[in-house]
Amino acid sequence: MRTGYASVLVCLLSSALLVMTGCGGDSPSGPSVAAEAIPLTIPPGYSSKSVHVKFQEGTNVEQPLEGLPSNLRNAVVSHSKLFSLPEQKLNELRFKERSRVGTPLPDLNLWVEMTLRSGTDAAAFLAEMKHVLNVEVAAFAPLPQPPPWIPPDFTRKQGYLDSAPGGIEARFSWAIPGGNGHGVTIYDIEYNWLRTHDDLTAAGGVTLLLNSGDTNYPPGFEELGCPAPCDRINREHGTAVLGAMVADCDTRGVNGISWGAKIGLAPANTANLGYNPANAILLAVADGSAGDVILLEQQYPVCGLLNFGPIEVLPSVFEAIQTAVAQGFVVVEAAGNGGVNLDQAACSGVFDRTLQDSGAIIVGAGQPPSSGADRQREGFSSFGSRIDLQGWGSAVVTTGYGDLYLAPDRPADPGFWYTGGFNGTSSAAAIVAGAAANLQGIALAQSGVPLSSLQTRTLLVQTGSPQLGNMAEPIGPRPNVLKAAAHIPCGRPCDP
């Protein structure tokens, strides 16, 4: 039996009279990110042993050392392409769907990672590389950073599934065909997960999107389903993200927002390849299809600070997101827990949408209703005009950690752990990714045609529950899946 909300919504959908506005004009801008001045010292969070270089069009990247001065050539002990997909596949992604964004996409074949000889001054190497004529970008290689989470307070419940404005209308969207994310795959890009958790059937048996030669299971972790390199903190973080999105829909444990969706797992950091979130994005694109959702559970220091902001500050990640969006993927990205004002002059316009727009949905953290400051910015959340939407930044009940529940007969078994306080822009981004997946599922069920990333972003922003509190620190509205679904443009009659 349909609820009143769902009956009204299906009626609206079947009329095909409600048409989304503002989608056509919102598109990513330039195809690449300009190189910045190379600092004289290696900034925190970056490698002293390897660098990322993007060459100019026409460069033979199979032999990238040719043409370099001898001192630079001799400083490089090895090199490899930054993106592990074959050249032909990267070209296909570049040219196949570029009409969707209206601007040329960057050539990701031109990115190379160089490993430097022991004792090489990476900062001096890059300072000289930036003067080489055929080099477009020369940057320090990033190192893995802490996932965007903060210590929980263990006090609240799973209200983010409930009706707006407190929740995102997830429970009510389930009454609509496709409204549980059916037909959509959500790709989670972070460090580790416990795929064998009792409440995560969707993750059980899922093949990790690892490159050839990576070690899936180091000794001692086979039974946990936790890829290398693995540690408990990162494992529980990924497990909590999965629970919020795709936990089983039953009367045990928790229910995921998009329990009808499939899950894909793309490690950002692996034992053999190191930290490469940009490559993880492209592996998800190669594995999925238009309409799928890519969640970036990563953060990085921004604006010359040590504080964390969106991972797309890394040029290779920005271009990988552009490429994913052009293929029809919805990319959801955590804003980071650094409390950074992304509009400040120190950010040099990197997060100015009028200058460049990756096409991602960037998510800030808002307080939940029980805090007494509903939809107001959590103090740790980065903010600014580039932030599109907010999700609960605290009190998220989900799988993992074990502070809420331990199985009495097996308290040390993490497969039965639950938390009452998952938080940060991590929990917020997971909630918004679920909202996007449910909206896509409804669109696919009604017309067979997925929404574009920009359509999804526009719909969720325009129909969301508005931010409250200090509007000078914008984090966007909280999604309302039902309102957004009522404005889905139909490719054919929506309710025949």
pLDDT tens digits, residue range 92-134? 999 887 777 878 899 999 999 999 999 999 999 999 999 998 9
Last residue of a domain, one of 142, 174, 209: 142
CB atoms within 10 A of CB 4: 8
Q: Which two tokens stand for residue 85?
A: 């997909």
Specify the pairing of strand 293-296 against strand 76-81: unpaired
Q: Are residues 23 and 87 in the same domain?
A: no
What average pLDDT does the chain have?
Answer: 86
Residue 495 lies in a domain: no
Give the count of domains, the chain.
Answer: 2
Residue 61 lies in a domain: yes
Q: Which two tokens stand for residue 58?
A: 């026409």
Q: Are residues 11 and 55 in the same domain?
A: no
CATH number at residue 64: 3.30.70
pTM recorded for the entire structure: 0.84
Report the alpha-carbon distance of residue 259 to residue 245 in Å, rounded. 7
Q: Are residues 407 and 449 in the same domain?
A: yes
Residue 274 lies in a domain: yes
Q: Are residues 355 and 277 in the same domain?
A: yes
Q: Are residues 135 and 218 in the same domain?
A: no
Residue 494 lies in a domain: no
Q: Quick one: CA dihedral 459, 460, 464, 466, positive or negative?
A: negative
Q: Are residues 133 and 173 in the same domain?
A: no
Q: Are residues 81 and 200 in the same domain?
A: no
pLDDT band at 378 (very low <50, low <70, confident <90, very high): very high
Q: Are residues 124 and 159 in the same domain?
A: no
Residue 491 lies in a domain: no
Report the alpha-carbon distance of residue 362 to residue 96 in Å, rounded. 25
Last residue of a domain, one of 76, 108, 142: 142
pLDDT band at 494 (very low <50, low <70, confident <90, very high): very low
Last residue of a domain, one of 87, 118, 142: 142
Q: Are residues 122 and 158 in the same domain?
A: no
Residue 36 lies in a domain: no
Whether 203 and 265 have beta carbons less than 8 Å apart is answered as yes
Residue-wise pLDDT tens digits, 222-270: 444 555 555 677 889 999 999 999 999 988 889 999 999 999 999 998 7
Residue 490 lies in a domain: no
Q: Which two tokens stand for residue 365?
A: 């953290």
Q: Are residues 295 and 434 in the same domain?
A: yes
Q: Are residues 323 and 443 in the same domain?
A: yes
Q: Are residues 123 and 242 in the same domain?
A: no
Residues 6+ apart with CB under 8 A from 37: none
Of the listed ranges 29-43, 87-101, 118-132, 460-474, the least confidently predicted one is: 29-43
If you average pLDDT over residues 78-92, what whole number do you get?
A: 95
Which domain covers residue 407, as residue numbers?
4-27+147-485
Q: Which two tokens stand for residue 452?
A: 């574009």
Residue 308 lies in a domain: yes
* Residue indicated by tokens 């060459």: 55
Give residue 220's pLDDT: 37
CATH number at residue 467: 3.40.50.200
